[in-house]
Amino acid sequence: NKTMKTYIGTKQVKAEPMNELAAVEKGYARKNEDNHEWREGYHVQYTNPDGSTYDSWSPKSVFEQAYKCADSFLDRLQIERDELKERYDKLSNLENVDTVKECGSRHAWILSLQHTSMGMYLHHLETRIKLLKDAPSQTQG
């Protein structure tokens, strides 16, 4: 559909592991009416714009595809590193594509600078993660 655009959503939630049977008992999931096997998953607490909360349940695979644990500073730093690494790798593949070169040498040069800067940033994040893992008591950023 040409009228539909792509969107990326970001939402922070609280969650804890909870199997489907327990979620049904607490009212977070619908009753198992099609007799599928009970699944592992997560009790998820969402915050509404007005500050109130509501509880739900999500199957493990669905939840873990959408959310990454960000409970500690180290968790958040690793998420930042992983997201940057994915972008860095995409740019690494793009840098060699002829379409970039067709945009002109200035564009290709700036793209090369961006790639170098991202590589340095990635290195710094990896160094900070290593230092935090080597000295877990120093969790300040």
Assess contact for 118 and 91: CB atoms under 8 A: yes
Confidence (pLDDT) at 21: 93
The torsion angles phi and psi of 92, rounded to 5 degrees, stand at -60, -40
Find residue 16's DSSP bridge partners: 43
Mean pLDDT (whole number) for 99-114: 78
Q: Is 140 left (phi over 0), alpha (psi -120 to 50) or beta?
A: beta
> What is the C-alpha end-to-end distance of the chain, expressed in Å?
45
Assess contact for 15 and 67: CB atoms under 8 A: yes
Q: Confidence class of residue 137 from pLDDT cuts 50, 70 and 90?
A: low
Confidence (pLDDT) at 64: 94
CA–CA distance from 3 to each of 6, 102, 126 (Å)?
10, 29, 41
Residue 79 token pair: 């998420």
Q: Confidence class of residue 33 from pLDDT cuts 50, 70 and 90?
A: confident
Model pLDDT for residues 123-133, shown as the tens digit of each residue: 999 999 999 99
The mean predicted confidence, pLDDT, of the chain is 88
Confidence (pLDDT) at 95: 58
Please compute, for residue 36, the number of CA atoms within 13 A of its CA located in the half-sphere on the CB side: 9
Confidence (pLDDT) at 109: 83
pLDDT of 135 higher than 90 = no
Of 67, 58, 92, the C-alpha closest to 12 is 67
Question: What is the value of pTM for the model shown?
Answer: 0.72
pLDDT of 30 higher than 70 = yes
